[in-house]
Structure 1
């Protein structure tokens, strides 16, 4: 997927309401997870990403700083993010517990 034409989100858009459900892609455009929810707002927030599993069942929640994800909207307005972590690196992160 070519992300160069996608509109980057502003810091004010980095909220739970906007980012929840967003697909996260790794450096090779592989799907590495989905945003479950945020702790905080803005670039300093932590995104809780569900990694692995199928349709949310058996997924492992991991926390990653929102600033480590390039969030954007595609041509149809769908929000997604790109991180430098591949799927294996995301799975290796410690499980997030509330």
Structure 2
């Protein structure tokens, strides 16, 4: 089942850093589905790959509340999972296409230093 993803209206998908990329616009929360963002690559401030979204936590009213981010590892082995509020992510959609880019204002090292999510 595909859920429509929404984030709180206060922050939208702007995240803390407010990433901008040529040819991309901020994705509107009501236009996102869980299928859009699950397994998406997470990019850091300098466009470096810092992880992937392995799963999402959905509230009873169909809003995405949190994202489980996998950091490091290879083919699922040795990966470190962390749980972050979805509102911390910036989701961008290609202006004339369907490509999505998900950004987070942190580094791979900082994510690896966070407590392991075992959910």
TM range (shorter): 0.7 to 0.9
The counterpart of 1:24, out of the listed 42, 45, 60, is 42
1:86 aligns with 2:104: no
1:34 aligns with 2:52: yes
**Structure 2: any 5+ residue segments left out of the alignment?**
1-19
Cα RMSD for the two superposed structures: 1.9
The counterpart of 1:61, out of the listed 69, 74, 81, is 81
**Structure 1: any 5+ residue segments left out of the alignment?**
none
Give the structure-2-normalised TM-score. 0.70
CA distance change for structure 1 residues 86 and 39 in 2, over 3 Å: closer, same or farther?
same
Distance 1:50 1:13 in 2: 24
Select the structure of larger CA radius of gyration. 2
Give the structure-1-normalised TM-score. 0.83
Q: CA deviation at 1:69?
A: 0.7
Q: What is the aligned length?
A: 96
Distance 1:65 1:4 in 2: 26
> 1:31-65: CA deviations, max 9, x gaps?
000000101154x6111011000132221111111
The runs of 4+ residues in structure 1 deviating greater than 4 Å are none
Most deviating of 11-20 and 22-31: 11-20
CA distance change for structure 1 residues 54 and 76 in 2, over 3 Å: closer, same or farther?
farther
